[in-house]
Structure 1
């Protein structure tokens, strides 16, 4: 046997013999110790307290100490009792509050109209309990008297609102609370908790908040009150919403993307934009496309099921997202604000300008896999691929003919059937018909 194995055997023997007298926690020799891993209830309670207080599980190992000393047990009990006091605080405070209220009522009946401030001017001797040992020469310090007076004063200062059960320190605060919350703001909801745990509850829904002003702003959603108005005619429930809206009327963009340099007027717009630079997080179950946000996945699924909740009031076109509708509405405006700095071309949207600038640069980044042709946009590439697949997704609603492009269908409808319409109109009617059949 090698020297290494001999040393290991000696070390293991030493650990097995010495561990019986070493505390598992402090590693001190313990004469009066408790075994940790027995089936007795006391050992189970010790392990349970260690787990509750520190989320630690002590497992048996023949090379590790298996006992705990008396000092560590005392420290564990202190920690466990402290945790129990923290956990049961609300329940114990409710009992304490009831006792304080009962004592305040008793003092009010006894003193009646006496002012709280007069309590500090104590001239009479302090009454002593019946079992007080008069022979003991114990002096009551001024600090003790002052603490007793302070406790009585604080107890008398507790005032509870009869409408929402909120507790305040002075009668003046209680009157201000009743006027501002229940008369001026007409809040009839409940207030629970005390101090930092206080919550203001909405009487019409499950909403709650630690701030009374936040609840006032929330109640405007139920009442329809929108006191903050913009010059453009829009109104809002909060002044912060009005301030954010007014930025849309200016060209000031204070927030810039550090990756692509795109600028935004609001911080939340920049935060939403940053999802564009991240890898896909959400996957479509139908086509397995990777999306970068939950909202993008929802909009993508709407396209699969042809759900279009946004409708143009001018032409009747429907869209999947609100941004698509807003970009579409710009087409109905006669004023084209986006201009090309190279040729003076004007358009309604930045997207069209980006495509136009690609034509200036000759950037045909979308290439066909079946031939040598390339295109400026992905839409042009998808339309070209139908030449190879011979797919004709645009059927005529009046006859059996089908077409590769929507423009070909529009020309066919006008020349053959004498109907001047667009594929978007036909698709919208088909969608409305399908929805009507589904409802029936």
Structure 2
């Protein structure tokens, strides 16, 4: 056959490739999943996605070992025992380089790759590489946009089952991670880890401008905005700008008139929680702010500041 000639099959394949390329530009996704209604650009992508649902069904029907604490189920007893360590806090596998500890040997193995620099799992789309297959799978979902784990209560969807399980605790109120120092409880282990820093005094995130240190990266980012002057959250009503979204939310209550914080004694309502706390002291008589000069006590910090100015004025006269 002449090299310039095409068979019908070759023309068909070339036509499919052209269609596939066009969908990359048009964002068209004609192939839909009957289970979760996600759409895909090609039939091969859809087939690959459907396998996730079939695998999920197979897994759920074959997990006889359940956790009494959180209800998670497992195919093998050993996996359940490893999982239980997330509740007990036991971490028997220790890194010889930095003394970090882990609940199982595979997590230790992945951790050691951070010391060696080994990243054996590569993304075929963008060539980024990762220390574990789970990190790679999580990354790939950035490209596909898949969120196959949905909450039956509120409809929120997640890329990972673990994130869905954590989210479900906002509905159930379950907080299985307990602080051994003060008995505070948390929905996930990362929140407990951050909380423990308040007891240990650890502040691993430092500002390069002024050296201030913080317990979380979020607090550091918020602090850095005080140096840059950045206020990315804008009020649509009066154009005021704020460093954080909670500050904007508080501000919006002045426009809407919303007062979500109510006094149980007299029913007075307030836009800000701190205002309610100050008000409650008018019922309790509590005066936690004391003057170092004359020991006069006040219910509010600004009352103390105003009082201190009277001492400074006396000194001048």
Shorter-chain TM range is 0.3 to 0.5
Point out the structure with max Rg over C-alpha.
Answer: 1
